[in-house]
Chain A
């Protein structure tokens, strides 16, 4: 089966006055219809750029973006328009992503008219009402005439999600979509996105720096961990969280403070060799993580870039040492 949307060894290099920066390097990701997936990583790891590449907002400088098996950047006309409608982006900051001079109705009806989903005001009103109900802004009459400043952060983010839904998308890329809203309502927004996935078969990629959010959101899906432009581990959520294979994933999980005093006080720590994140302008040779990695082996990790390889337990890891150990463990167990 071909994936709905796929990044095939996609890279993106930006040219800056200080030199070229490869924000995303040979990233491959394949998503099926209805899948809920999370991309996590620290700032500068390329997760947002990956999201923009996936949404077709940035042209890759290497590799291909495939939608329903077709190379998006080779398509034109009706096919391209179809892709544009099918993939929507929800931004981090609902204070910036909504036009402050437009009411909720204006914001939501504009794409309806633009894509000929509504021809008359009456049709648009009916659709907007339905959209608002779908994102739990009920009763819709209370919201339809409001300006963004009259809404709370959570309500604004719901409007932003409703706007993404106007064109019946197949894929939603949500970039830090819950980071700006209060903790007390994050879960309900995540639930809303998950429900869209379940009820309408929408594929949702949530980009976040918060592993707890990622674990909750992708509990039945997968998490991809990024570091300095590359995916270093891709696995189903519970295996990743319970038994991370890549030393960077392990360090992240160990570093997270937990809202549970006993767990957080007794949690095992992973000591990194350095706290410094290398600059994208001068990446270390070999594995970009090797200067900080506790497992780093001289002559191997500082020479050769590890590929993302499938290891037992249906996960993918880009680490020479982890791949060797996990594969030999499996071999020893079966012998």
Chain B
């Protein structure tokens, strides 16, 4: 039984020009202890999807269809239908989220200890002594010194320390699921490395499932078991991490992989993706990526293709040209995309 099963979820933003179709017909499943990476460029709907999963979308947002099925102890609930009390319990106690602007996620005028206290109280814990112990335990888990960090105000901590505190706070109620939106963006290289290693250790030790959203493919390569590529609000490819990196089948995944230069190994043919993403209010007919796609043919502009099984049953791509993409890339699985196209 998957921990989370999202089925045909669509989310619109209502604007004066008309609805913006930010998330369109997204489905995926997340197993226990599994890590899923959602990648895509800005405006692809990644964050809208993540925020939608905990029903925290801003006003003016409308979920137009779909189900978010969450399972715990054999009981499955649709998050879209639960009442406010259950929703409060689901948020943070079951599913915690670490936001992109982690560094601004704190209340600047209270100490870290008070942030822990607030979170605990909001979830019905009132024993100060017990909360203190728990906070110390969690900070220890993220390699911070509780005696130094708890009395500090957020501005007294470095970016990396704040990110660690936030991860500790997210784990306070032992959630089954942690969603991280760009967890290491804006951190320095060595700090980023320590956060990645920390997340890996914590996942092994505590066994939670993780969804992380990133435009940074390298973090996905480090942490993910499976990956989803989003484009213009849709899932365009879904694969195990190695398949996505070495055998991508959707031209947009190929282009994303090619857009990131590497530090070690051959440089290969790195290239930006030409053009820009479509207007999400007036989507083009047919495949939304076709106007930017080097492999597009006439048929691509007629109908938006569904996710098709490619290579293996665990690998799907929404592209009628996937066989052609496979041919262009060849079969050598060890060679990264940028080198194959060089």
Q: Is A281 an interface residue (CB 8 A)?
A: no
Stretch of B27-35, B103-111, B254-262 with 4 or more beta carbons under 8 angstroms from chain A: B254-262
Complex Cα–Cα for A20 and B105 (A):
32
Q: Is B273 an interface residue (CB 8 A)?
A: yes
Contact across chains for A183 and B262 when beta carbons are under 8 A apart: no
Stretch of A26-34, A74-82, A85-93, A250-258 with 4 or more beta carbons under 8 angstroms from chain B: A250-258
Q: With A184-B255, A259-B218 in contact, is A212–B188 under 8 Å at CB?
A: no
Contact across chains for A215 and B267 when beta carbons are under 8 A apart: yes
Stretch of B79-87, B190-198, B314-322 with 4 or more beta carbons under 8 angstroms from chain A: B190-198
Q: Is B124 an interface residue (CB 8 A)?
A: no
Which residues from chain A contact B216 at a C-beta distance below 8 Å?
A: 183, 257
- Chain B 218-239 interface mask (CB, 8 Å, partner A; 1/0): 1111100000000000000000
Contact across chains for B272 and A186 when beta carbons are under 8 A apart: yes
Contact across chains for B42 and A257 when beta carbons are under 8 A apart: no
Nearest-neighbour CB distance to chain A for B283, whole angstroms, equals 18
- Chain B 257-298 interface mask (CB, 8 Å, partner A; 1/0): 101111111010011111010000000000000000000000
Nearest-neighbour CB distance to chain B for A299, whole angstroms, equals 27
Among A42, A188, A260, A275, point to the contact of B262 (Cβ < 8 A): A260
Q: Of residues 224 to 283 in A, which have CB atoms within 8 Å of B's CB atoms?
A: 241-242, 251-253, 255-265, 267, 272, 275, 277
Q: With A209-B188, A255-B189 in contact, is A263–B265 under 8 Å at CB?
A: yes
B interface residue count range (under 10 / 10 to 19 / 20 to 34 / 35 or more): 35 or more
Q: Is A68 an interface residue (CB 8 A)?
A: no
Whose C-beta in chain B lies nearest to the C-beta of A188? B272
A interface residue count range (under 10 / 10 to 19 / 20 to 34 / 35 or more): 35 or more
Nearest-neighbour CB distance to chain A for B291, whole angstroms, equals 14
Q: With A184-B41, A184-B255, A188-B272 in contact, is A253–B267 under 8 Å at CB?
A: no
Q: Is A185 an interface residue (CB 8 A)?
A: yes
Complex Cα–Cα for A189 and B41 (A):
16
Leading 3 A-B pairs by shortest Cβ distance = A188-B272, A255-B193, A257-B218
Mark B residues whose CB is within 8 Å of A: 41-42, 158-159, 188-194, 196, 215-222, 241-242, 245-246, 255-257, 259-265, 267, 270-274, 276, 334, 336
Mark A residues whose CB is within 8 Å of B: 42-43, 152, 182-189, 191, 209, 211-213, 215-216, 219, 241-242, 251-253, 255-265, 267, 272, 275, 277
